[in-house]
Structure 1
Amino acid sequence: MVNIKGMIKSLFGGDTAALSEQQTDDQARIGQLKREFAEHPSKGLTPGRLYQILEAAEQGDLQAQSDLFEDMEEKDPQIGADLLKRRQLAAELEWQIIAPDNATAQEKKATEHANEVFSAMEVEDLVLDLGSGLGHGWANLELNWQRDGAIRYIEQPTLRPHSWFRLHPDDQNVLTLRDMSATGAELWPLGWVDHRHRARPGYVARSGLHRMLAWPYLFQNYALGDLAQLLEIYGMPARLGKYPKNATDKEKATLLRAVVSMGKDAAGIVPEGMAIEFLEAAQGRSDVYLAMMNWCERSKSRVILGGTLTSGTGEGTNTNALGNVHERGQTSLIRSDVRQYCSSIRKSILWPMAALNFGITHANRAPRFVLDMGETEDLQALATTLPVFVDMGANIPTWWLHEKTGIPKAGKDDEVLRPAPQAPMTAMLRQQPARPLAALRQSKGPATPADAIAARLAREGDPHIAGWLERIEAMLEAASSLEEFRKMLLAAQDDLDEDKLAELLGDGLSVADLAGRSDIEDVSESSNGR
């Protein structure tokens, strides 16, 4: 029986409170967090205010920065869509939980239990929640422990708002839960998935992508507001109202209402003695505002997806070729995200369950969570090059081949493909080429001396070859291995009668030589006769 309290204290450095309740249920200390509402600092945001928010986050107060980042994802379609795309690309991958290499019986049981637990979870939602760390640099999911007899397991983790947390004043890499204290409450061991996403280097407050997106977001809002004002007055003449020196405030207000109404109604009245002059129509160029907005859009796509052509904001030629390059860069980002998600899930979910239920005390022996990127090597290239390396003596493990090809390893009860049956070697040896004499008889053209020589060699040499084949076939059938067959061939080489065949080949070569000389003399005499 595993000593739960002793194991938690030695491995995770805390008590067992997280196994029976959630830390955010403490109404006395942090219950007010669930009653807080976002302050929406993006409203009326200015460069000065943005600088204050980012600076306060570096000093430990993350609330305003977290609320601002949430507003940016909600209000900016480009940021929201690109971040969702990057998170969704990881969340839709096929997942599996596998045992460590050379797993023991307990480690295999821990893997089976983890598969059962995750089969009951919404794993895609879990990965999407962890993906919120892309913008913030971190994400904290609270664990909900349950018990089935002696077995403890985790139900669907819950993502807690980023504004609930702050940085410890003495350590910028330590997140605490905001309460009424100056430092915040330390997160309970076994109570959280403390996911740190290294989207960019730096301390926790500065490691999220939103720190890079905040300024393009602000500049685009300014450009968009200026463009909206331009469109509102573009092409409309300026109106200038004139009132006499002794006009009262009421008369001035009447003139102002008339000037304003004439802008949209093209009609109005003014008291006698007052006048309205129409100046040149308002002019302006919208392309300067659009250029600024396009720069902001492209900057945000580069930050989130590593390029512009995978989000529809790219411009210029060679879009297809450059799009493929940008897509490969995006795949590299997703691969990095996946590794970080899998690491946090193994460290904060799989290892605690394996430790509490099966006594696995080392994190590297816990089951591994894997998101399959579906990246495989070229099968044709592997089939060509791999046998070469094997013949050279390289010791290549079979698991590497399965990983590179994406072909799953067959289980004990799985039917497997078998190589096609090959003809016995004795049958292959009997397959002799067509007889030259038979080819000569079938030929429609006149016979040449070379054809006659070849036919004679085949006719008189075949009996010798047939005798050799019979002996070789007998040795092949008697041999138990190729090595034994090789030794039998070497031993029988001296017994094979080669003299008769050598004599026959020598006669054939002599006749061929004479036939060649005769052809040359015939050609020479024919030429002289001409």
Structure 2
Amino acid sequence: MARVLGPDGRPVDTVTLRSEIAGAKIATVRSPLSSYPADGLEPVRLANILREADAGHPVRQLELYEAIEERDPHYIGVLGTRRRSVSQIPITIEAASDSPEDEARAQMVRDWLARDELTEEVFDILDCIGKGYSFTEIIWDTSEGQWMPAKLERRDPRWFRFDPLTLQEPMLITQSLAEEPLPWGKFIFATIAAKSGLTLRSGLTRVAAWGYMYKMFTQKDWAIFTQNYGQPIRVGRFSPQATEEQQETLYRAVANIAGDCGAIIPEDMRIDFVESGNIGAAAGLYKERADWLDQQISKAVLGQTATTDAVVGGLGSGKEHRAVQKDIETADAKALAAILNRDLIRPWMQLNFGPLKRYPRLKIEQPEQEDLKAMAEAIVPLIDRGLEVEQATIMGKFGLPEPKPGAKLLRPQSGPAASPLESPPPAPLNGQRAVFERSAPPAGITAALQAEGASAAQPREGANDAPAALADRVAIEAQAPMEAMLGQIEAMLEASGSLEEFRAMLLAAFPKLDSGPLAGVLAQALTLANATGRADVGAENG
């Protein structure tokens, strides 16, 4: 295999790349066993653990983080929500260019991303959200003559350090306890900081640690309170003549009656149950404090509380709170995509094809959800007014396939039959469907047209000469074209919401109005008028 050069131009140790170098093993420096610094946690101890991490020794801090995630249901719930929301976002690959070579490289990455294990691998990489950073070892496969990531293995961050000078560059602890820089192309080093500053201090769990500790105090006090006041205090009374043996019998009965709910005492002895009058109010203080601490953790992790805590009268609507969570999700997705492009995609391409000018680009983002109902409501009137839209575009928006030949198609229901007095639907404009649906014309216009048609259909009194008969015939022939044009104009009037809109519609549709039949009738009328005038002048001169 040809020698592989790293980004610094130096040869890469391919033996190291092919080996699994950071696996766990008991009785070694990378032991999976850990201590439990969260046991007996109190403010001074917590502060010492955090200061120790700030000095470059984060082992106890990382072990504390693990314990907090294991013991605090609320924290693991909101942190898991944030990690899983990103790990399930679709991942896409953009080719570096339209060339066949770049498209083939992008397709190679797409095929690899189709693995079922990817979601869990991404979830493990996002462990950096809580701890501030995470390490994932790339297990390379070269069995088919090319470099392919076989799997992405999470590695315990306790097995890594940061260089002692800057506390920024990650280092791998070897079996000899030496600290070495991470081999190029071997690890995904992920950092998604909750705050700016040192990586060791940038995790969300560092913020949650204080709330966790105070909540544990509250829960402990709540448990003691419940044990002491959740049931009445037992008071045993004995007479002055009671012997020591009788007193011991009474004490055993009082002590055992809490758990056993039953006891036997002599007839001359008495046990009273004394109840506290403010148990409910006092118990509510512990619950309110624990809930308040949970809300602060929700704000730190998700940026809001509406999706995790039911707060009556809380500020902001659920939609606004979800928008805040969406912003955080988008930021996490962009940060993770940049990390994977840097530590996985680029080394992968360089191992197979050498240095490239441009590389396939991995993107993690939710597809934009279009409001199809709003789009339909907006575009239908525009189509009705002459907007030309390709059918395939609309079907693609709604995810509808092209109809198969011979398939039974759904069609719009036909409207009520038109009245004989109503004009026919307007003629299609520019080869498209009718611009407006034909509605019944106003009663005044219909009556006028009806009267005009009736009068035109009857010969005028005294109209026995040829010009008068021709005039009547022209009037009858002009009725249908006039009604057609008026029908289109009336439909515009019905569809418009204002005079300004009607004017704009009329100006836009005027050049397309079907005026051919009416123009022919008017030409006949002008010819008739000219001929009648000439005949009248000839009669007067004769």
Normalised to the residue count of structure 1, the TM-score between the two structures is 0.65
**1:163-174 alignment, distance < 5 Å:** 163-174=158-169
Residue 111 of structure 1 and its aligned partner are, at CA, apart by 1.3
1:443 and 2:450 aligned = yes
Deviations 1:139-189 (A, max 9, x none): 100111110343111111100112222222111212222357787232111
Deviations 1:484-527 (A, max 9, x none): xxxxx9xxxxxxx99x969959x9xxxxxxxxxxxxxxxxxxxx
Aligned residue pairs, count: 421
Comparing 256-265 with 159-168, greater Cα deviation is found at: 256-265
Residue 19 of structure 1 and its aligned partner are, at CA, apart by 1.9
Q: Read off the aligned partner of 2:8 and give its amino acid letter.
A: S
Q: Comparing both structures, which one devotes a greater share of its residues to helix? A: 1
| Distance in 1 of aligned mates of 2:166 and 2:222 | 44
1:336 and 2:331 aligned = yes
Residue 366 of structure 1 and its aligned partner are, at CA, apart by 1.6
Residue 65 of structure 1 and its aligned partner are, at CA, apart by 0.9
RMSD, matched Cα = 5.0
Q: Paired residue for 1:71?
A: 67
Q: Paired residue for 1:15?
A: 13
| Distance in 1 of aligned mates of 2:433 and 2:212 | 75
Deviations 1:380-430 (A, max 9, x none): 569979xx9xxxxxxxxxxxx99x97999xxxxxxxxxxxxx98958999x
Cα gap change, 1:12 to 1:327, in 2 (>3 Å): farther
| Distance in 1 of aligned mates of 2:432 and 2:76 | 70
| Distance in 2 of aligned mates of 1:376 and 1:344 | 26
Q: Read off the aligned partner of 1:216 and give its amino acid letter.
A: G
Cα gap change, 1:236 to 1:428, in 2 (>3 Å): closer
2:207 counterpart SS class: helix
2:188 counterpart SS class: strand
Deviations 1:303-340 (A, max 9, x none): 111111101x1311379x71111111111111111111
Residue 278 of structure 1 and its aligned partner are, at CA, apart by 8.4
| Distance in 1 of aligned mates of 2:218 and 2:29 | 36
1:193 counterpart SS class: strand
Question: CA contact under 8 A between 2:126 and 2:190: conserved in structure 1?
Answer: no
Q: For 1:155, which of 140, 144, 150 is the aligned residue? A: 150
Higher RCO (Cα < 8 Å, 6 or more apart): 1
Residue 373 of structure 1 and its aligned partner are, at CA, apart by 0.7
| Distance in 1 of aligned mates of 2:28 and 2:428 | 81
| Distance in 1 of aligned mates of 2:447 and 2:285 | 88
Q: Paired residue for 1:190?
A: 185
Gaps of 5+ in 1: 243-251, 389-400, 409-421, 434-438, 464-488, 490-496, 508-530
Question: CA contact under 8 A between 1:144 and 1:157: conserved in structure 2?
Answer: yes
Residue 454 of structure 1 and its aligned partner are, at CA, apart by 11
Q: Paired residue for 1:56?
A: 52
Question: CA contact under 8 A between 1:173 and 1:203: conserved in structure 2?
Answer: yes
Q: For 1:207, which of 202, 206, 209 is the aligned residue? A: 202
Q: For 1:24, which of 22, 25, 38 is the aligned residue? A: 22
Cα gap change, 1:215 to 1:457, in 2 (>3 Å): farther
Q: Read off the aligned partner of 2:296 and give its amino acid letter.
A: S
Q: Read off the aligned partner of 1:87 and give its amino acid letter.
A: R
| Distance in 2 of aligned mates of 1:428 and 1:269 | 99
| Distance in 2 of aligned mates of 1:118 and 1:345 | 12
Identity of aligned residues (%): 21
Q: Paired residue for 1:292?
A: 289
Residue 446 of structure 1 and its aligned partner are, at CA, apart by 8.7
Cα gap change, 1:269 to 1:440, in 2 (>3 Å): closer
| Distance in 2 of aligned mates of 1:143 and 1:42 | 32
Comparing 301-310 with 9-18, greater Cα deviation is found at: 9-18
Q: Paired residue for 1:222?
A: 217
Question: CA contact under 8 A between 1:440 and 1:447: conserved in structure 2?
Answer: no
Q: Paired residue for 1:471?
A: none
Question: CA contact under 8 A between 1:195 and 1:344: conserved in structure 2?
Answer: yes
**1:88-167 alignment, distance < 5 Å:** 88-100=84-96, 102-120=97-115, 122-167=117-162
Q: Paired residue for 1:368?
A: 361
1:35 counterpart SS class: coil
Deviations 1:425-481 (A, max 9, x none): 58999xxx9xxxxx89983789579x9999956847999xxxxxxxxxxxxxxxxxx
Question: CA contact under 8 A between 1:461 and 1:501: conserved in structure 2?
Answer: no
Residue 138 of structure 1 and its aligned partner are, at CA, apart by 1.0
Q: Read off the aligned partner of 1:375 and give its amino acid letter.
A: E
| Distance in 2 of aligned mates of 1:121 and 1:322 | 37
Gaps of 5+ in 2: 239-246, 383-392, 401-426, 439-445, 461-470, 482-510, 512-518, 530-542
2:29 counterpart SS class: helix
Q: Paired residue for 2:76?
A: 80
1:308 and 2:305 aligned = yes
